[in-house]
Amino acid sequence: MREKPKASAVPRLRQNRKPLAVSSIAKNAFLAVWCAGALYPFLWVVLSSFREGPDIKMRPFALPTSLLLDGYVFAWIRGHLGIAFINSLIISAAAVTAILVVSSMAAYVLARVRKSILLYTFFTMGIMVPLHTILIPTFVFIKSLNLLNTRAGAIIMYTATGLSLSLFILVGFMKSIPTEIEESASIDGCSRSRTFLSIILPLSRAGIATVGTLTFLNVWNEYLFAFILLTTIPKKTIQLGIYSLQGSYGTNFGPLCAALTISILPVVAVFIAFQRQVIAGMTAGAVKG
């Protein structure tokens, strides 16, 4: 037996995505508190970056009284963060390019030309390997190739370690492209490489964007491998730059907050611009498990 529901309990079917947007004070309060807890630490860092160290320590929750840029100037020049920022840009851009070229080529073969389960498993196995396992051998290899303290060494390492996940995402993506277009191209006498360049690549744009953003974030944020591969100031990445800034100038919160803001800004920009790709990429590896 079912009573006629009261008017307020009737689900309002707006979009089929969320049929029953119930609004309750508790729910909104919980979400608001959580969002504040996720956002405020970053806000604190940005606000503090415009203040002087001693002032932050005396009154940590006060707002900046003026737009003091000393921390930024100090971090960028004396802390060598300017060089580090440019190094990180170069290394990330090169690693993204290399990964996209190498993995899209391999993915095309594995998804379309020669569907070898064995090779596919071989390549994607790397997702399961904790990268610490190869830290010491990587150091030894890069050293024996005379690539310690070169951007090239770091770029090779980031490309190799990012391949598994990129291949996994791109093979999955290319498999979902309908085969008809390719078949007619092949009947028209289109070669494999021509098909790859003018049909598969343009149709894989979304997958490529996912791999590209994910690789950028991973490389920009990576610390441990950079720490052992790049030790001189002219070669350091942004993460190493912050690390040595803090090491040489102790607990001076002002420049540290400025440095953190500088390092986080590009990441937030990329995240907001490519939100769908970032979330797809970060959860893709998870689904593989």
Partner 1 sequence: MTKRARIDLSFSLGFLTPAFLLFASFMVVPVLVSGYYSLTRWNGASAPVFVGLQNYVRIFHSDEYVVSLLNNLRLILAALLFQTTVAMVIAYLLFRTDRGFDVMRTIVFLPVVVAPLAIGFMFQMFFNSDLGPINYLLRRIGLGVFALRWLGDKHVAIYSCIFAQTWQYVGLFVVIFLAGLKGIPVEIFESANIEGASSFQTFLRIAVPLIIEYLSICVILAVTGCLKAFDQAWIMTKGGPGFASSYLAILMYKKAFIAGEFGFASAITMTILVLSLAFTYIYKKYIARDTVDY
Is there binding between residue 103 and partner 1 (CB under 8 A)?
yes
Of 178, 189, 202, 289, the residue at the interface with partner 1 (CB under 8 A) is 289
- Cβ closer to partner 1: 35 or 69? 35
Is there binding between residue 184 and partner 1 (CB under 8 A)?
no
Of 47, 68, 90, 105, the residue at the interface with partner 1 (CB under 8 A) is 105
Q: Which stretch binds partner 1 (CB under 8 A): 19-27, 65-73, 89-97, 176-184?
A: 19-27
Is there binding between residue 43 and partner 1 (CB under 8 A)?
no
Q: How far is the CB of 286 from partner 1 (least distance, A)?
A: 5
Q: How far is the CB of 223 from partner 1 (least distance, A)?
A: 5
Is there binding between residue 252 and partner 1 (CB under 8 A)?
no
Dihedral sign for Cα 269, 264, 210, 235, please.
positive
Of 73, 77, 86, 129, the residue at the interface with partner 1 (CB under 8 A) is 129
Q: Which stretch binds partner 1 (CB under 8 A): 67-75, 77-85, 177-185, 214-222?
A: 214-222
Restricted to residues 62-91, the positions that interact with partner 1 (CB under 8 A) are none
Is there binding between residue 156 and partner 1 (CB under 8 A)?
yes
Specify whether the CB–CB gap between 239 and 223 falls below 8 A. Answer: yes
Of 8, 25, 61, 180, the residue at the interface with partner 1 (CB under 8 A) is 61
Provide φ and ψ at 56, rounded to 5°: -60, -40
